[in-house]
Every structure is written in structure tokens, then in C-alpha cells.
Structure 1
Amino acid sequence: MDLSCFKAYDLRGRVPDQLNPVLAEKIGRAYVEVTGAKKVIVGYDIRLSSPEIAEALSSGLMAAGADVFDIGLCGTEQVYFATSHYKMDGGIMVTASHNPKDHNGMKMVGPESRPISSDNGLNEIRDRVLEPFADAAQQGSYEPLEVMSAYVDHLLGYIDAASLKPMTIVCNAGNGGAGLVIDELEQHLPFEFVKVHHQPDGHFPNGVPNPILRENRAATADAVIEQGAAMGIAWDGDYDRCFFFDENGRFIEGYYIVGLLADQFLRKTGGGKVIHDPRLTWNTLDLVKAAGGEAIESKTGHAFIKQRMRDEDAVYGGEMSAHHYFRDFAYCDSGMIPWLLVAERLCQSGQTLSSLIDARIEAYPASGEINRTIADPPKVIAAIEAKYSVGAKSVSHVDGVSIEFDDWRFNLRMSNTEPVVRLNVESRANIPLMEEKTKELLAEMDRLNEEG
């Protein structure tokens, strides 16, 4: 049996050769045997293959003796929400997020929506799939569960409704599931939503919902300009990531959103801890300190950030990849809470999104993440570190290598999944310096790669 769909954090693969109903049923059985779960939430995204895979998964869960609570078509964060809110033993979301339309997958959590990854159960589930199964003495039951109303109530709890004012917001669901939530939220908010690619459609008529791809951004940006909107928001397919456009239709790097959300959240909580990834840090450190919070660095990746948030009881965590995590959301990531907080900030401050962001870009200009295919990543990273650590103010290995000088810094790290090295550079209020150092580092990486 092909088990190549099992990855480090979740399952993803082509349907039907890497993931299909037969395998999904076995995964359901294995999940129960490995975790001991008795009550499990199941949800699925808008992909055409999702209902069938979710149904087979549920059959396996029930055959192994677990009760299934089916929340139907939803986003990943609703599985997280339902698992923790209803105090279930676990949850499984059938989704392949922003992968091509003929792919599918699963994201798994345990009690309190703690992630199940390769280091805490996912590999055991994979290995258990290969063994024969016997049905449980007592079959599990099946129950549909409506979670949208409780979930929407929870989302609205993050903002002060009285401070909101009418404004126009462009929202682009990319024909994923986010539109269903916007339609529910709309009834409670004074905003006018301009809806782009709004209908859930697993055929992805406008391309795979992944706003990281430059070619996918124009639809949102153009609508913002045409409609004179205050901002634009776009999501990936299972809407656990959201992306922002200012009132000029400019796409905003996720790094600056982390700082903005940390600041907005700390204003509400009057302090607390914020977890951030090590790729770009100075803007976040500056804003968190000014808002009376404490910034704590964590290795990149949702399992690491969620665990660190729990360890530190952090109120918020953010990655520049557009994942935003919230303590009161079971330490999980949400693609809905961030835009509500940004909209609230626009209403409260009376400022435009561009003016809030421009000041930060000027203070800490950044290269954005640049990927380079490298034959021998560890060797190239080691050579760069040896060269640049001379005279550096600090060298850190929280994730890859981060090297800091007085007026600029960079992070270089390997991809977990491909022979790619990822570079991020930032400076203190000096765009030419940031650009010069970025160019210099890329040239050095290319030279080292050619030398082999």
C-alpha cells in the first residue's frame, strides 16, 4: 500500500493513487487504535473528493469504536474549534489546503486540538494502517453537529463591536470555504463585503486558492481599487491562512501583519507574551516591547509554535507565512480572527491600512522570503555562516542560522521537504543596505552552489 501521503505534519497526496476511500477507512481505524479516542470531530473542505474520503474515514473511526461528530463542509479551524469547544478526544479535517485540485489530505488533532505530527502519533498511525484490523465489540455512533453559530459567536468575541464603523472590504475566498463564514459574519458587522470568487467550488475555476502565488493576487487587488475598499482579504482553500491588501491594492508581506496583530492584541490584554518565528524579527520585537508585551522566538512551523505558546501561555503567535495563532482559540491558527482585528484597528484608529504598514516598512525594510534551489543545502549554509559570523553581533540557531549586525540581519534555513534554501534579510530603516546585502548573499549562495 502506498503511504507516501503521510508527511511530517499532516497527510497530502493525489487522489486516488496516494489517498482514496479504502486508505481513508484504514486511517480512521488506525487513528482510534493509536490515540484511544472515543469522540472524534470530522470535517471536510470544498474539494470534490472530500465528502467521499470523509465518509470512509468516519466508517473506519466507527468500526474501531469511536463516535463520530460530523461538522460537514468547513475550514480547518472549525475542526480545531469544535474539538476544543465540545471537549472531544480528537478531530480530523479532510483537506489538501492549497495543493492542486486532484489532491486531498488530512490534518489531525488530539484533545484540546493539540496537533498530531510525525513525532507524536502520525508515524504510528501510518505504520498501524499496514496491519490487519478487527472491528470493535461496540461500534461507534454517527451524529451531525452544527458548529457554525458557536464558532461565529467565538470569532465576534475578539472584537469590540461598538467601535466598528461602516467600510467596504473586498474578500476573495478563491472558491474555497471562507465565503460561507463571511456570509454568516456579515449579519453581525457594519461592513459592506465585495465578494470575489466567493462560491465554494472544488473545480477551482479561478485556479487553486493560494494567495502566496503572485498570479492569484490581481483579482483581489483590482477589486480593492475598483470599489475604493478600505482593504482586501484573500484566503487559501481551508482558510487557515489569510492575506491582506491595503486600500491601494498593494499586497502586504505577512511579516508586517504579525507586528500589527501583536500590537492590537496586546492593547486589549494589557501585556502578555507573543511567539514569533526567527526569519524576520526586528519589527515584531519593537512593536511588542512598545505595547508592554514580551516577544519569544520559536522554530518555524505550526507544531512548534503551538507548543511554545502553551509552554509560555502566550496570547498570540504569528508567522510571516500568514499563520496566526490565538490562546483563546485553543492555541490554534485562524484565518478569520486576524482580519477582524485589523478591521477593528482601522475603525478605532481612523488610519488607512497603508499608513499603518508604511511606517513599519520604513523602519524595518525586508527582502521577503527568497527561495534558492541548492544541491547541498547544509554545506552552503555552513559556508555562509562561517563567512558572515565574523564580526557579527549575534549568531542564533533557533531555525537555520540567524546572523545579526547593528544595522542589518538575515536568516538562512533549509526547507524540510525540498532541496531549497530560504533567505530573509532586513535592515534598520535602510532600504539600499537591505537590497545590497540581499543581492550579496544570493550571489554568494550561487557561487557556493556552483562550486559544489
Structure 2
Amino acid sequence: MQNFPPISITCFKAYDIRGELNVNLDNDIAYRVGRAFAQYLKMSEQANSQTKNAIVIGSDIRQSSESLKKSAIDGILDAGVDVIDLGMTGTEEVYFFTSHYQAMGGIEVTASHNPINFNGMKLVRENSKPISSQTGLADIQKIAESGEFADVANRGDYQLKTDKTAYIDHLMSYIDIKNVSNLANPLKIVINSGNGSAGPVVDLLVERLENTSLEFIKLHHEPDGSFPNGIPNPMIIANRKPTEEKLLAEKADLAIAFDGDFDRCFFFDENGRFIEGTYLVGVLAQAFLDKEQGASIVYDPRNILNTESIIHNANGKAVMSQSGHSFIKEIMRQTEAVYGGEMSAHHYFRDFNYCDSGMITWLLVVELLAKSGKKFSQLVDEMIDSFPISGEINFKLNGITAKELLAKLKENPNQFDENSQENAKLDELDGLSVNFDKWRFNMRASNTEPLVRLNVETIGDKELLNAKTTQICDWIIANGGVNADH
């Protein structure tokens, strides 16, 4: 047994590892995480003869990522496990190559859309299965904190494999290139990579699409860990402006913007309007049900009305899951769902090892636009009118916990609709969903930040939406909430 001094490591979260550099995440911690992860996988009963004694690892473009990756690699090798280094990657590349190389696990060093002084790691096990605090992450933390590492006979071997061909081949398999060729009205597409890790993959896909009816305009394209145009996070309204302006200046048909590790992508229609993620879930659910009748579609409880309407009308199977990638992926595997989507712009695909991919998402949306001959706005306008939403509203809490606030809400949910002909129907799958006959809302504690999140939606009534959103927000503020979006 090789003993290191025991320490406390506070960067382990519910789904991944995320911390402030040199505060609760540094190279020494990265070494411990790499070594503990490798040791855990070797001990795990799920590591079997079908997997190789290897861990795949990649890192995003952040200036601290390469150093953290090297430290994690040293830890893995010292645990007697081989390393396949993918170089600079997005998270979905680690998902793909963990399965492709039949590795026992994978690590992506990334902080995604967090501030520049943060970094972290996303971990998966064999077949790209997620690891959360409930399925191994807490055990890895204990090993890393204890510093009690098993002795090994031989150090692992290191390989650098940066060829993305197999991954690009797989991405391209989701569309029929004939559908985007010889179009009467060619599509002009703005792609904003946010100076993150997406650019090299976009370039390889654009090469494959060179002789089609698609024209690409690249914005903030070169990977640059200093993020000269700001942290790539299109969820922040101010960050959307450059994409919107470029789209309008170029008179493009749509725009796509990525976060830092490109497991999420965001869309703008031809008018520069940002399309909320919940409507993309509807668009993709419809696309998959057109191809595979009766398939199961998984979605989260925050906004459900549009998605459930589409699934019902297409005779699909609607399956609701708790928010969060590990929950969605588990439910998708259980139900063999063809597609799963979250309003947070995570889109999951059965044939991508049930993992999320920003690249597959935009390819499918572009193909759908090409096949339909419609403007992007025409694909979503009816959804937006039929099921308007508030968008997610975030609150910090003072003097009350999220658990206490939800308990207080549960005591009297009918206060928000005294005119309803029936009492509210409650669902506690994820936070608390309160369902009335013409509208509903979901309130839940964030899994990743100290916030309470609110989402309100109605059946075709924007005035009702505005009134109920204001009413609930006022109630949250009266009970200790502070709007975190202003």
C-alpha cells in the first residue's frame, strides 16, 4: 500500500468534479483523482473481461486543462492502468472513444461554461456509462482523500491517439447527405464555437459537407483558452448578441452556438431569435418518431406540455425522468429510448451510447430544415404559441433552504390558482411540479449551484403565463428568495 497524507477534497459534485483553481482543485488533486479513479475501476465488479485495462482521457482548451490532464494521467499510470490520450477534445469525444476503444473508463478535463478560474473533470465508466455521487463518484472521492493507493507490479502504458476519423464517421451516420444536397434554397449557417473546443470538430464536419447545399460562416472559431470573446456560455443572454448580430448581417438561415466543451449547442432562427431548449426537444422528438414509430422519448419535468403533446400525437411513448444527465441516461437505457432531451440543451441519443452530443444535435436540425423546406421559425412558432414558457428563473435563498421552501409550497399549492376547477396535482419526481388544468410550474433545487430554479408554462395563454410567473416569483421573494438573473 502506498500512502499519501489524507486530505479533504471539496470539488466533487453530484455529477462531476468542478472547482476553483488552486483553491479546491490543483495538479496534486488531479493526480489523486486519476489514481483513485483507476483503482476504483480495477476493483469494480462492473469492470469485466470485455474491457481493456485502459482509461481514455481528453481535455478542453482552458489554459489549465493540459496541466491537470497530465497530472491525472500520472495518477492513472501509477495505478497500473494504460492511458489513451485523445489530446484536445470536447466531452462527447471522450464518451465516444471510451466505448470505441473498449476502455474501462474515460475522463474529460473541462469546466464547460464556468468562469475562467475554474476547471473540473467529467468521468464515465465502461460503455460510456455515467458516474455520479450515487454510482461511484463518492467512492472515488474517499479513495482520493484517504491517499491509500494500492501497490502495482507495473506502471501503465501511455498512448497518444488524436485521430478523430471514427468519431466523425459516427456523427455523419446520423444524417443522409443527400438530404442536404442539391437544395433549391441552400442553407446559410453561422456557427459560433466560442473559442472553445468545438472548432476542430466543426472543421472536420464541414469538410464532409463540402459538396452540399450548406454554407458555413464561422465565428469565434479558433480555440483559445484565454477566451478573448468571453466564456462560451450561450445561456447568458448577453453572450448571445455576437451570434445574433452575425446571423442578421449575413442573412443566414440559422445560427448555432456552443458551450466550452460542446456537449450542448444552442440555436437561433433566421430572425435572430434564440430558441429555448425545450422546443428543440420537441423538434427532435418529432424527428425521431417520424423515423421510428412507437419509440420511447425521455424528457425532464421542468417543461413538459409541448413535448408530451408531440409524443402523444406521434404515438410515441412518453417517459419522464429526473433532470440531470446520469438520471436521463439510466432511464433511457432501461426503456431503450431512441432519444432523450432536457430543456438545458442536453440531447441524448441511443446510438451514441445514450450520451449527449451537441454535434449530432445540430446535424439533425440542419437535415430536418433541409428536408422540410421550412424556415426555422416555421418549425417552432406553433410550439411557442401553443405552449408558451417563462424560461428558467433562478433564485438565491436567504434565511430558508430549498428543502424548506419546497415544503412550504407543498402545504398550499392551490393558492396560485383559486379559480381552478380542480386541486393542483403534485409530482415530486424532481423538486415539486404543480399541475393545474391550464398551466403548470416546476420548482427545484439546482444540482450544481446553490439556487432554486422556477419554470412556468401554460396551454396557449401568454397572459396567464405572465400573471402566474409574476405571482410565483413574488411568493418566492416574500419567502427569502432573491432573483439571481438580475
TM-score, normalised to structure 1, is 0.96
Query: How far 1:21 moved relative to its partner?
Result: 2.0
1:78/1:147 contact within 8 Å kept: no
The answer to whether the Cα contact below 8 Å between 2:86 and 2:161 also exists between their aligned partners in 1 is yes
Question: 1:65, 1:359 → 2: CA distance?
Answer: 56
Post-superposition shift, 1:348?
0.6
In the aligned structure 1, how far is the partner of 2:439 from the partner of 2:405? 21
Q: Contact 2:39–2:150 at 8 Å: present in 1 too?
A: no
SS in 2 for 1:184: helix
In structure 1, give the amino acid aligned to 2:60: D
Which stretch of the first structure deviates more once superposed, 427-436 or 367-376? 367-376
Q: Which secondary structure state, in structure 1, belongs to the residue aligned with residue 66 of structure 2? A: helix
SS in 2 for 1:105: strand
Partner of 2:199: 179
- 1:440 partner amino acid: Q
Q: Separation in 2 of the partners of 1:64 and 1:211? A: 39
Number of residues paired by the alignment? 450
* Secondary structure of 1:305 counterpart: helix
In the other structure, the counterpart of 1:60 is 75
Query: Among 348, 366, 375, which residue is 1:325 paired with?
Result: 348
- After superposition, the C-alpha distances for 1:414-437 in whole angstroms (9 at most, x for unaligned) are 223444221111111111011111
**Counterpart mapping for 1:303-452 below 5 A:** 303-375=326-398, 376=400, 377-389=402-414, 391-449=422-480
The residue matched to 1:120 in structure 2 has which SS?
helix
Aligned equivalents of 1:392, 1:162: Cα separation in 2? 52
Q: Secondary structure at the match of 2:274?
A: coil
| Aligned-pair Cα RMSD in Å | 1.5
The Cα shift of 1:203 comes to 0.3
- Distance in 1 between residues matched to 2:473 and 2:479, nearest whole Å: 10
Candidates 20, 28, 32, aligned match of 1:26 = 32
Q: Which residue of 2 aligns with 1:76?
A: 91
Aligned to 2:234: 211
Counterparts of 1:250 and 1:278, CA distance in 2: 24
Q: Does 1:241 align with 2:264?
A: yes
Change (3 A) 1:275 1:147: farther
How far did residue 16 of structure 1 move?
2.8
Question: How far does residue 58 in structure 1 lie from its aligned partner after superposition?
Answer: 1.1
CA displacement at 1:389 relative to structure 2? 4.2
Specify the code of the residue in structure 1 equivalent to 2:330.
Q
Give the TM-score normalised by structure 2: 0.90
Q: CA deviation at 1:243?
A: 0.5
What stretches of structure 2 of length at least 5 have no aligned partner? Answer: 1-6, 48-52, 416-421, 482-486
- Take 1:244 and 1:100, find their aligned partners in 2: how far apart are those partners? 22
Residue 145 in structure 1 maps to residue 161 in structure 2: yes
Using the TM superposition, give the Cα deviation of residue 306 of structure 1 relative to its aligned residue in structure 2, in angstroms. Answer: 0.5
- Counterparts of 1:147-296 in structure 2, within 5 Å, are 147-164=163-180, 165=183, 166-189=186-209, 190=212, 191-296=214-319
1:365 Cα shift? 0.5
CA contact (8 A) 2:13 2:448 kept: no
**Distance between the aligned counterparts of 2:265 and 2:306, measured in 1?**
20
How many angstroms does 1:299 deviate by?
0.5
What is the DSSP-based 3-state SS (H/G/I as helix, E as strand, rest coil) of the residue aligned with 2:479?
helix
Q: Which runs of 4+ in 1 moved over 6 A?
A: none
Contact 1:389 1:395 in 2 (8 A): no
Cα distance in 2 for partners of 1:102, 1:416 equals: 21
Superposition pairs of residues 95-174 of structure 1, within 5 angstroms: 95-129=110-144, 130-133=146-149, 135-164=151-180, 165=183, 166-174=186-194
- Note if contact 1:310-1:331 (Cα within 8 Å) is conserved in structure 2: yes
- 1:395-432 deviation digits (Å, cap 9, x = unpaired): 11111111111211111112234442211111111110
Using the alignment, how far apart are the partners of 1:88 and 1:292 within structure 2? 38
Residue by residue over 1:337-376, the C-alpha shift from the partner in whole angstroms, topping out at 9 and shown as x without a partner, is: 1111111111011111111111100000010111122232
Give the distance between the partners of 2:140 and 2:216, measured in 1 at CA. 43
How far apart, CA to CA, are the structure 1 residues paired with 2:324 and 2:370? 32
SS at match of 1:116: coil
Q: Which amino acid aligns with 1:120?
A: T
Looking at structure 2, the residues matched to 248 and 291 of structure 1 have their Cα atoms a distance apart, in angstroms, of 29
Tell me the SS of whatever aligns to 1:177: coil
Alignment partners' CA distance in 1, 2:129 and 2:434? 32
CA distance in 2, matches of 1:448, 1:127: 37
Instruction: Tell me if the contact between 2:413 and 2:424 (Cα under 8 Å) persists in the aligned partners.
Output: no
What CA distance in whole angstroms lies between the structure 2 residues aligned with 1:403 and 1:22? 46
Aligned counterpart for 1:11 among listed residues 17, 31, 42: 17
